[in-house]
Chain A
């Protein structure tokens, strides 16, 4: 009696398991086939056809001795890229360094230098004083790209680090990982933002907005590896440094006349 019950129970169990497995497979297999059929990779429009990203590698040179701290670059960048106006979000900024004779260093960047610098600096015991523009270094070994969990920030084939605002989840790991403080969270879009070297301009042969409006040509834009490029001349004629070389990020923004006090 008991064994018959067991057999019936086993049969019921077997048919139930079969039902569940069949049901699952009947959803999964056609679902997979349907999805696979719908996948059509597309990059969109003109990219890679008229403009070939593999033929370019962009970089920037900054001549510190030419910067007058007027802030036109900061203002131009905010206007070109719709950066929020508040003093908490900058894709580029200018710092002022004042080095006293006893070695004490004072650094400031009021509103990123957008309205210029005001306030008198005591002339008496100042050894030297200068402005340093800062911008995303578009590193060749970007720590921000390394830590992005979803592939929302990436290095393009022409060397520019971009952010995919439609894919970014806003975890802010990249903001923590950037050694130069170059990234911020857009207050409205709630995604990470940074300087893009005005990618939308450079792929059309223009220069970034900050380079365009700099009155003293303190910012030099060009391509690495090209013989005839303003950047090549810049690198040839100046002793070049980069920011935080010990972190091995391989920045593509090169500084001439950079003082050791600049971080």
Chain B
């Protein structure tokens, strides 16, 4: 029966069997034993990924020993800032506190990483222009990093609302104080999100200056409140910090 199969096929089967058989054996030897346990991957790779060295200890680890600083930070403006945000990775320090010390930033440039004025930063974030705010002086001279309350309460709103202030400063409303439109609780500078400033709610508020019969400066442009802008609120078209129409 074997000889019914053409000679070519018989001779071809030999290398075929050798190759396929060899491939099968190679598979058994070389495919890792733990491959496919959880999915199409080496199970031990997950453990390898999970057992990497940890560099940042986490703030909870710091407060174990440094409870004084932790207590000071808890109620200040930096309560949401982790210790390692400024001091860098400190897990090695927790292992060997005497010999391995974390980085202690003292230079101006460090604080400016967050607090340098940039127009892209969200409104409400305290910013300074480094060149005009006590130039050269290290920030920590006046601001204790773990409780960075400024030595004086900022006079204006621009300490935190810098961009708005800059836009306002070149607009027609430049001489209008923020508090004219925004009734603000004194606690706002301490707990900004809990005591947000009020905003005007009605057309009539703007009308206090801009109505035809308003008792305000002659220079202020007047509109007919009944017809101008129909039922829209004024700020639907006019950005109050840059109210120019053109």
Contacts and interface: CB of A to CB of B under 8 A. Distances in A.
B35 interface: yes
Contacts of A71: 113
Contacts of B48: 44, 164-166
B167 A36 contact: no
Contacts of A166: 42, 45, 48
B1 interface: no
A199 B58 contact: no
A86 to B, nearest CB: 19
A117 B25 contact: no
Interface in B20-44: 21-22, 24-25, 28-29, 32-35, 37-44
Interface residues of B, number: 56
Contact of A44 (B43, B54, B81, B82): B43
Contact of B56 (A69, A76, A97): A76
A115 to B, nearest CB: 8
Nearest to B38: A157
B52 interface: yes
A97 B119 CA distance: 11
Interface stretch (A126-134, A172-180, A248-256): A126-134
Contact of A212 (B35, B51, B84): B84
A138 interface: no
B43 A43 contact: yes
B41 A152 contact: yes
Contact of B50 (A28, A35, A199, A216): A199
A36 B33 contact: no
Interface stretch (A16-24, A182-190, A224-232, A235-243): A16-24
B55 A117 contact: no
Given A17-B14, A151-B35, A41 B122 contact: no
A28 B113 contact: no
A219 to B, nearest CB: 12
A123 interface: yes
Contact of B51 (A17, A129, A200): A200
Contacts of B25: 27-28, 31-32, 35
A129 B45 contact: no
A155 B49 CA distance: 13
Given A24-B18, A69-B120, A116 B44 contact: no
A42 B113 contact: no
Contacts of B240: none
B134 interface: no
Contact of B114 (A68, A164, A200): A68
14 contacts: A21-B14, A21-B17, A25-B21, A28-B22, A28-B25, A31-B25, A42-B34, A43-B46, A68-B122, A68-B125, A70-B114, A72-B114, A123-B166, A151-B40
Q: Which 4 A/B pairs are nearest by Cβ-Cβ distance?
A: A35-B28, A164-B45, A154-B41, A200-B52
